[in-house]
């Protein structure tokens, strides 16, 4: 008898394990700029992400805002407004039976913000047929009371989230006319794998300058979170959109190379943590003179040339002055010699005149009277 009880207990355990393992569960999705949501009113495109709020914009001044948990923040069109502050609550991962409540504020075109208590619950995981197709989806139910005390009325909103396409595929409400619609098509950019393409520089390129520009793009249907750049094993740059991940990220990154061989590694990461790398081997063969350096070199050459010309003129002037001084010195000696010579001549002449004076002649030379 005990053996039969043990076998029955083991059977319950064995057959209950697969049931538990198959409990549906959905993790919170992440959206990227450019993602599309397609209800009957037209295409809503995710145009920006502000303070963890996804802002989808459609034609005719239509706008839907969801927080990062996909809680409704605002739905606005030409004739209607439904806004919650901070948002309708929702907690992830989604599982059937999960529920909660929270105090928030809400408003419509007919009233300002009023405080309400919202109850929410993940009621089921079921098949849902919409114009875009048939999907397995979690059904989330919101309920809250509005109006003055003693005259409160219940309001309800339902939506269905399909993990397969990572979208809310349907809204329904018996109280809000604008909240009854289902998606008519599914935009599935998440099917595009992560890709990284480098436009410049080419592999094995050689440069005579140290500064270059890395250019390329990373694409992913899941959204590109970040692109990092490493040179010779050291990360030197990182690029990512401040407004949130995009399906395409273009980048131009200025880089400085070391002299000789350089190994460039570019890594792209998507929002799911998947990575893609591209490598380039580059060579910097010595820095050539830049335009400013060439101009400076030319200026120095001109200054050296001018200095050499000035030095040559100074040397020529010095030589001229030395020659002039020597000439004047030579002229002085010549005049002195001439003066001495003329002095001797004058002395001789005076001596001759003295000798030729009659009174100074010798008596033997004097004429005898007849």
Which pLDDT tens digit goes with each residue over 202-226?
Answer: 999 999 999 999 999 998 877 888 9
132 touches 36 (CB < 8 A): no
pLDDT of residue 21: 42
The CATH code of domain 23-187 reads 2.40.360
- Closest by alpha carbon to 121, among 73, 168, 163, 157? 157
Q: Of 11-20, 83-92, 133-142, 256-265, where does mean pLDDT reach its minimum? A: 11-20
Tens-place pLDDT, residues 305-337: 999 999 999 999 988 888 888 888 877 777 766
- pLDDT at position 3 is 41
Checking DSSP bridges between strand 53-58 and strand 62-67, what pairing results, if any? antiparallel
Are 73 and 83 in contact by the 8 Å Cβ rule? The answer is yes
Cβ atoms < 10 Å from Cβ of 183: 24
The answer, yes or no, to whether residue 127 has pLDDT greater than 90, is: yes
Partners of 332 in the β-ladder: none
Average pLDDT in the chain: 84
pLDDT at position 359 over 70: no
pLDDT classification of 123: cutoffs 50, 70, 90 = very high
Sequence-ordered list of residues with C-beta below 8 angstroms from that of 224, at least 6 positions apart, any chain: 32, 194, 218, 240, 241, 245, 246, 247, 248, 249, 268, 269, 270, 271
In terms of pLDDT, which residue wins out, 170 or 59?
Answer: 170
Instruction: Work out whether strand 260-270 and strand 275-284 pair parallel, antiparallel, or are unpaired.
Output: antiparallel
61: confidence class by pLDDT, cuts 50, 70, 90:
confident
Mean pLDDT, residues 253-281: 93
End-to-end CA distance of the chain: 212
Assign a CATH topology to domain 190-284. Answer: Immunoglobulin-like (2.60.40)
Q: Which range is least confidently modeled, 4-18, 29-43, 97-111? A: 4-18
More confident call, 175 vs 150: 175
Domain definitions of the chain by residue range: 23-187, 190-284, 291-357
Q: What is the 3-state secondary structure (H, E, C) of the chain?
A: CHHHHHHHHHHHHHHHHHHHHCCCCECCCCCCECCEEECCCCCEEEEEEECCEEEEEECCCEEEEEECCCCEEEEECCCCEEEEECCCCCCCCECCCCEEEEEEEEEECCEEEEEEEEEEEEEEEEEEEECCEEEEEEEEEEEEEECCCCCCEEEEEEEEEECCCCEEEEEECCCCHHHCEECCECCCHHHCCCEEEEEECCCCCEECCCEEEEEEEEEEEEEEEEEEEEECCEEEEEECCCCCCEEEEEEEEEEECCCEEEEEEEEEEECCCCEEEEEEEEEECCCCCCHHHHHHHHHHHHHHHHHHHHHHHHHHHHHHHHHHHHHHHHHHHHHHHHHHHHHHHHHHHHHHHHHHCHHHCCCCCCCCCC
Q: What percent of the chain has pLDDT over 70?
A: 84
Using 50, 70 and 90 to split pLDDT, how confident is the model at 71?
A: very high
Strands 260-270 and 234-239: unpaired
Q: What percent of the chain has pLDDT over 90?
A: 50
Given a contact cutoff of 8 angstroms between Cβ atoms, the answer to whether 72 and 84 are in contact is yes
Does the pLDDT value for residue 282 go beyond 90?
Answer: yes
pTM of the model: 0.54
């Amino acid at each position: 008898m005990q053996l039969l009880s043990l076998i029955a207990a083991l059977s319950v355990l064995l057959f209950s394990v697969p049931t538990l393992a198959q409990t549906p569960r959905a993790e919170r999705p992440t959206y990227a700029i450019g993602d599309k949501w397609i209800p009957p009113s037209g295409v809503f495109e995710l145009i920006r992400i502000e303070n963890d709020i996804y802002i989808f914009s459609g034609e005719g001044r239509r706008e839907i805002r969801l927080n990062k948990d996909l809680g409704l923040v605002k739905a606005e069109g030409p004739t209607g407004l439904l806004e919650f502050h901070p948002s309708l609550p929702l907690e992830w991962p989604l599982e059937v039976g999960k529920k909660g409540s929270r105090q928030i504020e809400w408003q419509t075109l007919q009233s300002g913000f009023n405080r309400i208590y919202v109850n929410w619950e993940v009621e089921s995981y079921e098949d849902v047929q919409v114009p875009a197709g048939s999907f397995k989806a979690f059904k989330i139910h919101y309920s809250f009371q509005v109006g003055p005390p003693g005259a409160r009325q219940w309001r309800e909103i339902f939506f269905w989230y399909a993990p397969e396409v990572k979208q809310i595929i349907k809204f329904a409400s018996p109280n809000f006319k604008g909240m009854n619609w289902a998606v008519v098509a599914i935009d599935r950019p998440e099917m595009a794998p992560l890709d990284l393409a480098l436009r410049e520089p080419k592999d094995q390129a050689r440069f005579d300058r140290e500064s270059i520009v890395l250019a390329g793009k990373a694409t992913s249907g899941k959204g590109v979170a970040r692109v990092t750049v490493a040179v010779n094993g050291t990360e030197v740059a990182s690029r990512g959109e401040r407004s949130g991940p995009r399906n395409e990220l273009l980048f131009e990154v200025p880089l400085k190379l070391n002299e000789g061989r350089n190994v460039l590694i570019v890594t792209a990461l998507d929002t799911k943590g998947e990575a893609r790398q591209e490598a380039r081997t580059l060579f910097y063969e010595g820095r050539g003179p830049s335009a400013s350096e060439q101009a400076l070199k030319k200026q120095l050459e001109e200054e050296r040339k001018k200095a050499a010309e000035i030095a040559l003129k100074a040397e020529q002037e010095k030589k001229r002055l030395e020659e002039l001084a020597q000439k004047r010195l030579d002229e002085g000696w010549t005049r002195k010699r001439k003066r001495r010579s003329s002095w001797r001549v004058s002395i001789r002449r005076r001596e001759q005149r003295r000798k030729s004076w009659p009174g100074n002649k010798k008596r033997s030379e004097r004429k005898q009277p007849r």
